[in-house]
Chain A
Amino acid sequence: MGNAKQQKLIGNLSVNGGLFLLCLIWTIPVIGLFFSSFRDRLDIQTTGWWTIFPHQTWNKVAEIDPRETGLDPDGVMEVRGVQGTFKEMREGITSPDGTTQVIWIGNKRIGWIEVQEYIWTGGSWDFTLDNYNQVLGGKEFEYTNDDGTVEVIPGDNFWGSLLNSLAVAVPATVIPILIAAFAAYSFAWMTFPGRQWLFVIVVALLVVPIQIALVPVLTDYTRLGLNGTFLGVWLAHAGFGLPLATYLLYNYIRELPREMLESAFIDGASHFTVFTRLVLPLSVPALASFAIFQFLWVWNDYLIALIILGGNRDTMVVTMRLANMVGSRGNDWHLLTAGAFVTMILPLAVFLSLQRYFVRGIMAGSVKG
């Protein structure tokens, strides 16, 4: 009996231990980004973000001038119980117990010896909001470098891009849902010629890759003057999201109780009334799930925005702004991390507050083309 208990304990430990390890691996990338986005420009360039936590590191405890202490750089020197030649000391010598390190700094003639000890430091928590101020604002930002020169870098105007993303994502979510809900209702509750064939087309289009449509759509847009407009992006997302929206909403609306709808018709209600007063309110769970999926899809989309909105600075959405930043200032990690986090705030908030709908939406929406 004792053996079985022990086995259960070991099983429990390995389950939770394994799960903890996997969760840690999955979370660390985001944690690293989050902390880095608050770190100072120079800190982020010179030390890893994990050094904000208490850790052991080599700290200088003494500086020795070899000429004053009478050490001979050409022979074997002994400092704090560590012996070595000049060449070895240039590389750094660690004492046998691993707590002290002796390094020769500079050249043979005028250099000096540094003694370092491996000690705990409390980490550095001096966080700043400067990175966010710079990526969010459109103003210019001034830096004073170590050598005294002043650098002027334009802000990235993420506020403007956030508003653009919102202006793109809200209608690009509502329009396809509205169109799809009408269509789903008609497939489920109306009779008209070709209904079955049209539904076959909807299902067939579920997995069509949008790449196939981009060039022809862009040609039409050029002709219609829709290139670079929000309207163009809304309609494109509506078109590409429609098969899935129609299919999902059809599955839901079809299952609504037949008696309820029929009694409404007997009372003289028109299809339009039944749809707006009865079917839409009853379909809120399905509408919400798809809405979250579509909203995040549009918010996170890069390809369609890139092709239709192009490089216009005024209409740039957050994903494009961030991608441009990767291209133009790939080493300004203080800005890239802050910018990346700005693009993630809204999706993460949606995820954390509406997790149930979110999961349902993603699960249902996974077949999108």
Chain B
Amino acid sequence: MQTDVKDKQFAKSFDPMQFMMGLLLLSGVLVFLVGGFVFLRDATTSKWVITPVAIVWGVGGAGLIFWSMNWIVEQFNDKWVARLQPLVFVGPALLFLFWYLAVPSIRSFGMSLYGRDGITFVGLANYADVFTNRLMLEAFRNNLIWIFYGTFFSVVFGLLIAVLADRSKAERLSKALIFLPMAISFVGAGVIWKFIYEVRPAGDPQIGLLNALVSTLGADPRAWYVWPEIIPWNNLFLVVIMVWMQTGYAMVIFSAAIKGIPTEIIEAARVDGATEITIFFKIIIPSIQGTIIAVTTTIVIFALKIFDVVWVMTGGQFGTEVIATAFYRQSFVARNAGLGSATAVVLLVTVIPVMIYNLRQFGPKEETF
């Protein structure tokens, strides 16, 4: 014990040699950061050189910043180390959280009160616009379609597949196959489904799978997701893409929950003569109710923010505009930051109930704080 304390005091005492070394290292870090930035900004060499340099600079730079800030703090005496070290640890995270999320929320709200030029104060006019503009109303309607049908079918298929897989010998393989689309980008998935929906004039050989099937059955081929006569239901052909991707997510979570149901309960019901369907509705569904609500909430939020797939497939044309594409169009195409921000604020307000729920559920627990 004695030697421990001694060591500690020794380490804290001032050592000019060590201090000089530290300063030298710090200036090295500075050179690395600035030099890397300048190199990447001006580099015209091959991508095969730039890419590794960028990766090493980005990853190494982040680590070095933490290391050197900590080194500076540890030069102070114990009392100050205890005060300053938390700042080193949590400070960068707070900087990012405030710069990228917390403060922008407030700034966006501020901007939403101003006109297109960002100077004229218009009060709540942008919000009035959001709720009366024809395109915005279309976007709200479509988002409701996405939220309702997208979530409903993802959850239903996810549950169905989880239950079926649980009873099958091919559980691992089938779950992997259903889950696989989650690894794909929405842009890639958009191309995949655009190809399935591809249409050729009636009579020509169809190269899109859906129209080939439809033609074989004797019906006319259609340009499904841009079919003007059935607006707004053409959106469902885009919703299919989301269901294709999100079912895997719902399935793995339901699957884990179903495995948590004690087998004795199900066996007992079987002995009592319950059919599989009764077991499903009377035992499985009630047992995983909490999970179903959680998954539904997550997918609803996902559907609320849907952007990539619509933007790539239709650009929001043909009656497929959604809130996120409207936001993009107003903010970055029409350059009307006021209206765009108002749209973003509406998006934020709709998730506030979930935010409150999360705070109640996952917020700081008494015993740990």
**Chain B interface residues (CB < 8 Å from chain A):** 4, 7-8, 11, 37, 40-41, 47-48, 50-51, 54-55, 58-59, 62-63, 66, 70, 74, 81, 85-90, 92-94, 96-97, 99-105, 107-108, 111, 157, 160-161, 164-165, 167-170, 173-174, 176-188, 190-196, 198, 205-209, 212, 244, 247, 249, 252-253, 256, 276, 298, 301-302, 304-305, 307-308, 311-312, 324, 327-328, 331-332, 337, 340-341, 343-345, 347-348, 351, 354-355, 358-359, 362-364, 368-369
Contacts and interface: CB of A to CB of B under 8 A. Distances in A.
A239 B305 contact: no
Contacts of A369: 301, 305, 351
Interface stretch (A67-75, A281-289, A336-344): A336-344
Contacts of A204: 355, 358-359
Contacts of A363: 249, 252-253, 256
Contact of B85 (A176, A180, A187, A190): A190
A185 B86 CA distance: 9
Interface string A193-213: 001101111111111110111
B54 A333 contact: no
Nearest to A342: B188
Contacts of A47: 205, 207
Given A27-B177, A204-B355, A213-B101, A340 B348 contact: no
**Interface on chain A toward B: helix, strand, loop, or mixed SS?**
helix
Contacts of A46: 205, 207
Contacts of B193: 29
A48 B369 contact: no
A359 B179 contact: yes
**Interface on chain B toward A: helix, strand, loop, or mixed SS?**
helix
A257 B37 CA distance: 41
Nearest to B305: A209
A16 B103 contact: no
B184 A336 contact: no
Kindly state the interface size class of chain A when it binds its partner. Answer: 35 or more
A182 B87 CA distance: 10
Contact of B90 (A183, A296, A355): A183
Given A208-B348, A322-B185, 14 more contacts: A16-B168, A19-B170, A19-B174, A22-B164, A159-B47, A175-B59, A183-B89, A186-B89, A195-B369, A199-B363, A206-B362, A215-B341, A216-B108, A302-B311
A326 B205 contact: no
Nearest to B62: A175
B119 to A, nearest CB: 14
Nearest to B356: A204
A1 interface: no
Contacts of B198: 333
B110 to A, nearest CB: 9
29 contacts: A15-B167, A19-B164, A26-B178, A29-B181, A32-B192, A32-B209, A48-B212, A163-B51, A164-B47, A167-B55, A179-B93, A198-B90, A201-B102, A207-B351, A208-B105, A239-B99, A242-B96, A254-B368, A302-B308, A302-B311, A319-B187, A319-B308, A323-B187, A339-B191, A347-B185, A348-B184, A351-B179, A355-B176, A362-B182
